[in-house]
Structure 1
Amino acid sequence: MHDLKGVVNDPEGLDNVMQISLRMVKRFCEILSMTGNLIYPTSSQLNNEDRVSIRKNEEFTQQRGFIVSASTSIWLPHSLKSVSNFLKDVNTRCQWDVLTGGNNVTELAQINTGTIPGNSITIIHNNMLILQESGIVEIRAFLIYAPIDALIVNSIVNGGDAKKVTALPSGFIISPDCCYSLGRDNNGNAQNGSILTIAFQILIIGPPNDNSISQKEQKSALTSFHTLLSSTVLKIKTILDCSD
């Protein structure tokens, strides 16, 4: 049921996947501005670098409710390219991505985008299908992904309406840290660290006419995101052998 070779070969299926991925990337970039109500907890539940926002979901293709977004940024003593390659590696993804449940993932389809090698849209699978787009240029890199239902993938591959498909993306933006040099490589080029920004989203389903989120739900969201952000940061730092 997950044979998606036709996605790459069929022009209509290819166009549909690219449309959905474009909206996914655009939506992810929009959440980084953290519009909506920012939560500033009085407890030490979140780190000072963490930002959490709640907004009402107006997306007609999703259940009504509230979307909770959270992000944090960390410094890593590795180059932008090294961090980008690490995040794209399907062999180590299960070590940091909670969506994998600790299980290995398989790349089912890949669509190259642009002229830079490695920039691509991919569909990966373990216990679910994940649509992902990754890219790298000189000043930044990104890896953005969202779970997507297998029935929806089959629909768009077979000519379904891609405009009715939505995805709630999470992911990473990687920026070079040009202010702190780690030395020079064999070619004399400065080796800098990088700043990794992580952002996650969840949808909280509420009554159709509810215009606010309860304190209990807000507290639960904070707890969930604190655990998710902290564990993901710790896993990435451990794999990359980075100490605080």
Structure 2
Amino acid sequence: MSAELHLPSPVLLTRECYFGRYSKQLSHNTWGVVDVSLEKFLPSPTTNFRKKPSGCLIKLMPNGHSKVTWVEHVEVEDNQVDHYFQSLFTSTLAFGASRWINSLIRYGEWLQTLFVTPLVADEGVFIAQMGKTSLLQLADRMMKTFCGNVSSTADNPWTQMAHSPYVRIMVKNNMGEAGKPPGTSVVFTTSVWLDVSRTRLFNFLRHGNSRTKWDLLSRRHNIREFASMLKGENPGNRVSLMSAHNSQGKLVICFLQESYTDSTGSYIVYAPLDESAVAALIHGANPDKVMILPSGFSILPERLHGDEDRNSRSLLTIAFHIVESTTNEPYLAPESIETIYKVISDTVYSITNSVLYHNHRNNWMDDSNF
């Protein structure tokens, strides 16, 4: 088997390896899955990463649940990692066993949300089970697309921006690609450390009431969540429908947003939807035919268990995905590059200022509802 492991930022290096997998039932209620690198038999795609025997034990519990124990044992040389991001790798946060366990938990929560969790909506808004399924499936595609877009995988042809070493641009051709607007689209992203805990930053960015503080297009709009589904026990883990109204009360645009957090990272991903697309989705339309370009944020804590440490830092990655033109020209005009840099730098400036303001006033708790 082969695998490419990546983190949600194009400035963080991937890890690749070929490995063999051995699975065996060890007893009537225990199973084991073990992976090990095969560099002695197959040429490895990289020389700085080798997987020693790693994997999991799965034990069936009396209550019908499963107890999973995961072990990651690797040899790795991280001397190519930028010192700006070194702490993520030395803390084992980047590719440790906790990330695999959290992936299993998240999948279980998604299934529970799909079949059990009710959808909460404003009075007069009715969304049947078919509509709920369509929204969840579209949110799942949105999140997967976002994570694929912001990684440093070789499939993503990133270009470093001359303005900053940590700003990246990628031009994509969407002609004939289902679920995306036709033409040329652009993904642009940057990563920055902020002196704020991941939980505080996550709650600030996910709330509709705080969106006007960082979203340049929402500054004069009223943002409100009008439908939501919780995913798991954390109230921040949810799929939401949001509306943006202007000062005259007219609907301007809707957003589908998913926010999710666990011990290894947090995500706030959204995509604009027009009113007709929302109406079709809540009546059970095929989500694969809805065209979206996800944008959003990933937040990685500096330390695995540093969330309660109010002095901890967070690595914020910002990514926007926009339509550049209806043609398939694989280049950007100089004025487009300048506009892109202004949008992302203004967004970083707005978020940084908000963090500084709340840290100085020490009023993060006051902003629980933003």
TM-score with structure 1 setting the length:
0.84
Q: 1:202 to 1:22 in 2, by over 3 A?
A: same
* Secondary structure of residue in 2 paired with 1:167: coil
Choose which of 173, 183, 192 in structure 1 pairs with 2:312: 192
Tell which deviates more after alignment, 60-69 or 32-41: 32-41
User: 1:24-47 CA deviation, whole Å, 9 max, x = no partner?
Assistant: 000000101254433345xx4x21
Q: Structure 2 counterpart of 1:236, which letter? A: I
Q: Within 1, Cα distance between the matches of 2:260 and 2:228?
A: 13
User: 1:100-157 CA deviation, whole Å, 9 max, x = no partner?
Assistant: 1432211111111133332001111112101100011011001000101110111121
1:91 aligned residue: 209
Choose which of 150, 169, 173 in structure 2 pairs with 1:56: 173
1:148 aligned residue: 273
Q: 1:36 to 1:195 in 2, by over 3 A?
A: closer
Tell which deviates more after alignment, 224-233 or 157-166: 157-166
- Say whether residues 1:112 and 2:230 are aligned partners: yes
- Say whether residues 1:227 and 2:347 are aligned partners: no
How far apart are residue 235 of structure 1 and its match? 0.5
1:176 aligned residue: 301
Tell which deviates more after alignment, 134-143 or 156-165: 156-165
User: 1:76-98 CA deviation, whole Å, 9 max, x = no partner?
Assistant: 11111010011122222111112
Aligned-residue sequence identity (percent) comes to 28
Aligned length: 226
* Secondary structure of residue in 2 paired with 1:123: strand
- Say whether residues 1:74 and 2:164 are aligned partners: no
Q: Within 1, Cα distance between the matches of 2:190 and 2:340?
A: 10
* Secondary structure of residue in 2 paired with 1:92: helix
How far apart are residue 3 of structure 1 and its match? 7.5
Q: Structure 2 counterpart of 1:168, which letter? A: L
Q: Within 2, Cα distance between the matches of 1:4 and 1:148?
A: 20
Listed as ranges, the gaps of 5+ residues in structure 2 are 1-121, 245-251, 360-370
How far apart are residue 70 of structure 1 and its match? 0.8
Q: Is the 8 A contact 2:173 2:330 kept in 1?
A: no
Q: Is the 8 A contact 2:181 2:291 kept in 1?
A: no
Q: Structure 1 counterpart of 2:355, which letter? A: L
* Secondary structure of residue in 1 paired with 2:303: strand
How large is the RMSD of aligned CA atoms in angstroms? 2.5
TM-score with structure 2 setting the length:
0.56
Q: Structure 2 counterpart of 1:117, which letter? A: P
Listed as ranges, the gaps of 5+ residues in structure 1 are none
User: 1:205-232 CA deviation, whole Å, 9 max, x = no partner?
Assistant: 234xx4x334xx3323311210111100
1:24 aligned residue: 142
2:126 aligned residue: 6
* Secondary structure of residue in 2 paired with 1:54: strand
2:59 aligned residue: none
* Within-5 A mapping of 1:128-143: 128-143=253-268
